Amino acid sequence: MALITDDGNIKMGARAAWHWAFDPGINSVDMRDVLDHFGVQFSARGADGAIMAHCEKARIQQVIHNLRIQHKEAWAWGMLAYAPDGTENLNLLRSLLLPYVFRAVTTAKFNAFMSVQAGQLAFIAITDAAIEARRADGQRHKRKRADMAGLLRVDVELYRKEWAPRLYAMKDALKDLDGICLPRVADVIWLLADKASGDALACHDLCETMKTPVEAA
């Protein structure tokens, strides 16, 4: 299945496209290999449609790779929330997101980096936020206060007053990363649609979007 129809219509949004780009149903190949064989009936399924799917997946994967260089937290969040399970090392993704969520709740009176309980809370926030990001209804993944208080070894009232707001703040901070990671994929989708519709400048703009940024030393 290709991302864009022959007449330039878009089949899916950025979230679905992120998942689709790493779906093992059609494995991605190197773009140079795709271009070398383009139009020669070369693909895993031996069809032009599969070749186009290879190209589109490779372009989305490339812009996501660029995001990894430019904003590791946003990349980690996108891979955790939208890529198929097992695409990337889960421990790596969590390790990149932990400092980010700690900063979201650290104040002059509370240092999350020095709190064992904050680490436990962050683990849950990262897990639940990813679940919520995939839900079509946008509802929160709810946990009982008593269970959370027991996990953190605090009484329910203290959890309600101090820890629950931190949990929500962590999850909301993670979801804010959507504003960084998803527009990158959406830009590629629209450029592919413009190209399919015959926009002469779309190919140039697409190539510019694909350029790998210089990684900091």
Per-residue pLDDT of the chain (217 residues; tens, 9 = 90+): 556 565 556 667 889 889 989 987 754 444 444 334 333 333 344 444 454 567 788 889 999 999 999 999 999 999 999 999 999 999 999 999 999 999 999 999 999 999 999 999 999 999 999 999 988 777 788 899 999 999 999 999 999 999 999 999 999 999 999 999 999 999 888 887 777 777 676 666 667 776 766 554 3
Question: What separation in angstroms does the CA of 24 have from each of 19, 47, 76, 152?
Answer: 10, 17, 19, 39
- Beta-carbon-side half-sphere exposure of residue 104 (alpha carbons within 13 Å): 25
- Beta-carbon-side half-sphere exposure of residue 164 (alpha carbons within 13 Å): 17
Domain-wise residue ranges, the chain:
14-71+181-210, 73-179
Of the chain, the end-to-end C-alpha distance in Å amounts to: 39
Helix or strand holding residue 65 (H, E): helix 48-70
- Are 156 and 149 in contact, with CB atoms under 8 Å apart? yes
Which residue in 166, 174, 162 sits closest to 131, CA to CA?
A: 174
